[in-house]
């Protein structure tokens, strides 16, 4: 066990370290330094204190011959790192004092850091939380991903419409990474396969270099640190000097430019799958580089490949790295001469697969001609794995298998090449067993397990919600950050009025700060005493932002038709990006902005209802909004949201949930208690039943006068007077299709919102409920989730 000396430095020491880096790393003196220079100097001063525990953890893992976990993910949605690192090192207060003593504003320096937005949404953010929890728990391991030059696009609004601009996080120096030019592997694509005796030899037609960039990930109290290793693509051929000398400058730089496209941009869609060659190449690029690295490390320790599963656990975050199975088999057989049956056995024992979605349009399937062209040897191995599986499972039905209808189904491939397949909430795992892989589940009972998602309380409470953190620590001690179940000790204080008042005061303070920010950035004045009703997440039909905005219109209608009524003021806050090619989602964004414009400028309504939609939702905005939220909207069509993690962040921070029985909402409600959760809507089983009625939409709309009125207003162009027909398609779809059952759940949603009003109007009751939410959310720490993976899937133990 290592407990390094991470006692915080004194303000004086840190101050002189900052000045040192300012001068010698940034080349500036204090009189001429910009906020950027100060931020870099501070980051380097903090980074210096990560390096020692990082080296110590690496050395201990080698010395003890520990099994390592490798988390392969195409996305890591990290956000900012500076404040999180300072907090985990126990030096936020000192850092703040030091930087302020140098005349700088702490928040301005912290907020100068661009988000590392190497992910789309929940899946990528989960990977980031899991990296932090692995470091906190002393679970030795690496994260492997791609160092995209451009992360998720920046969202803007032009007359309410989403516009996308490229993201540029690497335009400035990235102080948290170390380039490793000596860690580089050649990755091949295309070409052909040659039979030499009994052996297959792949001769790639194209190659690129994968170069490593390492980011240390420091755990709570600096007791352990792991590495997030991101791969950057480089050309094998640096530069064509002959062409340059001929004056053909563009062509001379071509090989470099072509290679770099591989790590140039993150695919900005997480809910539909497109069979694009570049995406397949990115997936193989990540996976092959990671496996080379893993095998290299294993052999450098003098270990036999037959022992790989004893020392290596590889987790595939969704099917994106599912080529890992065939690649590992290829390495073991073609490169190391192992018999096929032994190789596939080792692959299965080593690999685990996390499924993140049941949406059919999101399940990866690659045309066999594309797989065969890009990865010809892997295509052969995939067919061999499929045949091996059928041989060993002769009762397998004919319609089950990896290769069907000239497509490679990555879900089946990942399942068959893994010893454990996990869902991400109890409900989701059940639905995987029943609907997604029923036959494979029968053939491999026990392979499917559940690991309900979690989020790190260090970032999502301690860093994002300072006042609540102080209240918790003052009440139960500084014990909860690494042992979130201890939040339960708050429960006995919930009956204490002074505790509830302090809880409400912390929330109010966050709401005041958010109101100021909204006023400054959105030009909308909102009352911090109003109920802050927040839905922030990717925009998708299944997440039903449409249901939320239709209900908002209904409330507006109510205020207008009955202006004397008493209404609790509400601020409806939306946030989220749509995939650039997802027209239906973009239409919803435009509708929300159109409705916001009309409502916010309606003098009859005044403070009673406001709608705000700040552009470019990302991790930093989540950290600002969630601690200031009263109500968390988790209203997906039941059966569609695998887990959700936004739902957890809100409830931990004392927001009450209005939600359906979907994903982890089910378990959140069990934990916080049904009385402290606003439930509405059809269940997953009822959804399937309801869809059997081809006229469900029409029936539901005809049964709801208020929904009819709302749809009528939209159809008449009340929110788009310059173009009254703008939403005719949307309204038509509501009447005639409504696949996500917005109409069927509309009245129930409004009724639940009325209950929310009643509860918020009774502060005693509201703050009891809110505080109980925080007290009972311990289960949703990502530490609990990672312990589950370690015990059930990885077979590893903490090094601490
Ligand atoms: C947590 C988080 C998500 C996931 O939110 P869901 O509501 O679970 O979909 C997406 N984006 C960001 C920036 C997040 O922080």
pLDDT 10s digits, 745-792 = 999 999 999 999 999 999 999 999 999 999 999 999 999 999 999 999
Supply the mean pLDDT for the chain.
96
Distance 648 CA to ligand 1 centre (A): 10
The residues near 424 (Cβ < 8 Å, ≥ 6 apart) are 126, 354, 355, 356, 450, 451, 452, 453, 642, 643, 663, 664
Domains of the chain, residue spans: 1-64+89-113, 65-79+115-452+786-794, 457-681+748-780
Query: 614: Cβ below 6 Å to ligand 1?
Result: no
In the set 645, 657, 774, 796, the catalytic residue is: 645
Query: 121: Cβ below 6 Å to ligand 1?
Result: yes
- pLDDT tops 50 at residue 571: yes
Distance 37 CA to ligand 1 centre (A): 31
Q: 249: pLDDT confidence band, cut at 50, 70 and 90?
A: confident
Distance 611 CA to ligand 1 centre (A): 20
Query: 374: Cβ below 6 Å to ligand 1?
Result: no
Q: 415: pLDDT confidence band, cut at 50, 70 and 90?
A: very high
Write down the pLDDT at residue 238: 67
Measure the CA–CA gap between 606 and 200, rounded to whole angstroms: 74
Write down the pLDDT at residue 1: 37
Distance 258 CA to ligand 1 centre (A): 33
Q: 457-681+748-780, superfamily in CATH?
A: Glycogen Phosphorylase B; (3.40.50.2000)
H-only helix segments in 2-34: 11-24
- pLDDT tops 60 at residue 642: yes
- pLDDT tops 60 at residue 4: no
Distance 458 CA to ligand 1 centre (A): 16
Write down the pLDDT at residue 7: 64
Structure letter (DSSP) for residue 354: E
Measure the CA–CA gap between 298 and 275, rounded to whole angstroms: 34
On whether the CB atoms of residues 642 and 423 are closer than 8 A, the answer is: yes
On whether the CB atoms of residues 749 and 551 are closer than 8 A, the answer is: yes
Ligand 1 atom index nearest CA of 663: 8
Measure the CA–CA gap between 651 and 649, rounded to whole angstroms: 6
In the set 15, 80, 377, 537, the catalytic residue is: 537
| Residue of the CA atom closest to atom 4 of ligand 1 | 122
| Residue of the CA atom closest to atom 1 of ligand 1 | 646
Structural tokens at position 74: 């195409």
pLDDT in tens, 499-532: 999 999 999 999 999 999 999 999 999 999 999 9
Domain 65-79+115-452+786-794 identical in fold to domain 457-681+748-780 = yes
- pLDDT tops 70 at residue 50: yes
Class in CATH terms, 65-79+115-452+786-794: alpha beta
Strand partners, 658: 633, 678
On whether the CB atoms of residues 668 and 645 are closer than 8 A, the answer is: no
- pLDDT tops 80 at residue 13: yes
pLDDT in tens, 284-321: 999 999 999 999 999 999 999 999 999 999 999 999 99
Mutate to test the pocket of ligand 1, among 645, 650, 663 (most ligand atoms within 8 A of CB): 645
Distance 514 CA to ligand 1 centre (A): 19
Write down the pLDDT at residue 258: 80
In the set 147, 229, 389, 538, the catalytic residue is: 538
Residue 201 CB-half CA count within 13 A: 6
Query: Is 543 assigned a catalytic role?
Result: yes
Query: Is 537 assigned a catalytic role?
Result: yes
Query: 125: Cβ below 6 Å to ligand 1?
Result: yes
What number is the average pLDDT over the span 728-737? 98
Helix, strand, coil percent content, the chain, rounded in steps of 5: 50, 15, 30
Distance 123 CA to ligand 1 centre (A): 8
What number is the average pLDDT over the span 439-449? 98
pTM exceeding 0.95? yes
Query: Is 538 assigned a catalytic role?
Result: yes
| Residue of the CA atom closest to atom 6 of ligand 1 | 646
Structural tokens at position 362: 């999101």
Write down the pLDDT at residue 5: 47
Cβ neighbour number for residue 244 with a 10 Å cutoff: 14
pLDDT in tens, 750-763: 999 999 999 999 99
Write down the pLDDT at residue 633: 99
Instruction: Tell me the residue ranges of DSSP E strands in 148-255.
Output: 154-158, 161-165, 178-189, 192-196, 199-203, 206-218, 225-235
Write down the pLDDT at residue 696: 98
pLDDT in tens, 321-372: 999 999 999 999 999 999 999 999 999 999 999 999 999 999 999 999 999 9
Q: 797: pLDDT confidence band, cut at 50, 70 and 90?
A: very high
Ligand 1 atom index nearest CA of 645: 8
Measure the CA–CA gap between 323 and 133, rounded to whole angstroms: 26
Ligand 1 atom index nearest CA of 619: 13
Query: Is 356 assigned a catalytic role?
Result: yes
- pLDDT tops 50 at residue 199: yes
Ligand 1 atom index nearest CA of 576: 11
Query: 537: Cβ below 6 Å to ligand 1?
Result: yes
What number is the average pLDDT over the span 592-606? 96
Among 243-252, 377-386, 471-480, the least confident range: 243-252
Contacts of range 756-764, beta carbons closer than 8 Å, 24 or more positions apart: 756/531, 756/533, 756/631, 756/656, 756/658, 756/678, 757/531, 757/568, 759/656, 759/678, 760/531, 760/568, 760/630, 761/568, 763/504, 764/500
Distance 122 CA to ligand 1 centre (A): 5
Query: Is 511 assigned a catalytic role?
Result: no
Query: 123: Cβ below 6 Å to ligand 1?
Result: no
What number is the average pLDDT over the span 710-726? 98
């Amino acid at each position: 066990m290592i407990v390094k000396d991470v006692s915080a430095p004194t303000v004086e020491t840190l101050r002189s370290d900052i000045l040192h880096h300012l001068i010698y790393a940034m080349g500036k003196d204090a009189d001429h330094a910009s906020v950027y220079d100060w931020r870099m100097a501070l980051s380097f001063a903090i980074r210096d204190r990560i390096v020692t525990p990082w080296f110590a953890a690496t050395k201990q893992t080698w010395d003890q011959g520990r099994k390592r976990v490798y988390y392969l993910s195409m996305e890591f949605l990290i956000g900012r790192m500076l404040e999180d690192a300072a907090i985990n090192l126990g030096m936020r207060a000192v850092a703040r004092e030091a930087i302020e003593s140098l005349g700088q504003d702490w928040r301005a320096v912290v907020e100068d850091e661009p988000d590392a937005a190497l992910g789309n949404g929940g899946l990528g953010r989960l990977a980031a939380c899991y990296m932090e929890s692995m470091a906190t728990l002393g679970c030795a391991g690496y994260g492997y991903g791609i160092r995209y030059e451009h992360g998720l696009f920046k969202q803007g609004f032009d007359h309410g419409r989403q516009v996308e601009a490229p993201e540029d996080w690497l335009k400035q120096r990235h102080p948290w990474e170390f380039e490793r030019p000596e860690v580089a592997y050649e990755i091949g694509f295309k070409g052909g396969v040659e039979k030499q005796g009994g052996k297959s030899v792949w001769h790639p037609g194209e190659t690129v270099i994968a170069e490593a960039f390492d980011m240390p990930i420091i755990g709570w109290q600096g007791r352990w640190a792991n590495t997030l290793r991101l791969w950057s693509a480089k050309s094998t051929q640096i530069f064509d000097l002959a062409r340059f000398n001929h004056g053909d400058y563009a062509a001379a730089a071509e090989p470099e430019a072509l290679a770099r496209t591989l790590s140039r941009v993150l695919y900005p869609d997480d809910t539909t799958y497109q069979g694009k060659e570049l995406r397949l190449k990115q997936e193989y690029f990540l996976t092959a580089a990671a496996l080379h690295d893993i095998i290299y490390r294993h052999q450098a320790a003098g270990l036999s490949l037959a022992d790989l599963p004893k020392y290596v656990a590889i987790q595939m975050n969704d099917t994106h790295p599912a080529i890992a199975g065939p690649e590992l088999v290829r390495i073991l057989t073609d490169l190391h001469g192992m018999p096929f049956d032994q190789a596939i056995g080792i692959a299965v024992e080593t690999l685990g697969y996390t499924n993140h979605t049941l949406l059919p349009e999101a399940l990866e399937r690659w045309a066999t001609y594309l797989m065969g062209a890009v990865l010809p040897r892997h295509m052969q191995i995939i067919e061999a794995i499929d045949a091996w599986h059928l041989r060993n499972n002769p009762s397998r039905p004919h319609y089950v298998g990896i290769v069907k209808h000239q497509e490679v189904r990555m879900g089946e491939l990942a399942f068959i090449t893994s010893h454990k397949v996990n869902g991400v909430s109890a409900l989701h795992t059940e639905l995987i067993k029943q609907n997604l892989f029923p036959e494979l589940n029968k053939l491999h009972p026990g392979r499917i397990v559940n690991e309900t998602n979690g989020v790190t309380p260090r970032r999502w409470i301690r860093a994002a919600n300072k006042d609540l953190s102080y209240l918790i620590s003052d009440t139960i001690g500084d014990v909860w950050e690494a042992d979130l179940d201890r939040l339960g000790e708050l429960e006995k204080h919930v009956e204490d009025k002074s505790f509830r008042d302090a809880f409400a005061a912390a929330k109010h303070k966050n709401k005041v700060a958010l109101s100021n920010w909204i006023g400054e950035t959105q030009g909308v004045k909102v009352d911090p005493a109003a109920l802050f009703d927040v839905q922030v997440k990717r925009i998708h039909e299944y997440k039903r932002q449409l249901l939320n905005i239709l209900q908002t219109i209904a409330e507006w209608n109510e205020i207008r038709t009955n202006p004397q009524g008493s209404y609790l003021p509400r601020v409806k806050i939306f946030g989220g990006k749509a995939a650039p090619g997802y027209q239906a989602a973009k239409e919803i964004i435009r509708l929300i902005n159109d409705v916001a414009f009309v409502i916010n400028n309606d003098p009859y309504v005044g403070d009673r209802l406001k709608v705000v939609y700040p552009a470019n939702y990302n991790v930093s905005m989540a950290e600002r909004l969630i601690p200031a939220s009263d109500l968390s909207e988790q209203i997906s069509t039941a059966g569609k949201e695998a887990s959700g993690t936004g739902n957890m962040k809100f409830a931990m921070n004392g927001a009450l949930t209005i939600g359906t029985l979907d994903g982890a909402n089910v378990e959140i409600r069990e934990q916080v208690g049904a009385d402290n959760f606003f439930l509405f809507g059809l269940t997953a089983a009822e959804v399937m039943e309801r869809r059997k009625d081809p006229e469900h939409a029409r029936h539901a709309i005809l049964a709801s006068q208020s929904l009819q009125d709302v749809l009528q207003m939209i159809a008449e162009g009340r929110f788009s007077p310059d173009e009254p027909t703008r939403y005719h398609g949307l309204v038509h779809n509501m009447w005639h299709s409504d696949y996500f059952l917005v109409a069927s759940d509309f009245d129930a949603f409004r009724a639940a919102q009325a209950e929310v009003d009643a509860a918020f109007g009774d502060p005693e009751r509201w703050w009891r409920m809110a505080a109980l939410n925080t007290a009972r959310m311990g289960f949703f720490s990502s530490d609990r989730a990672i312990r589950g993976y370690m015990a059930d899937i990885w077979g590893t133990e903490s090094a601490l």
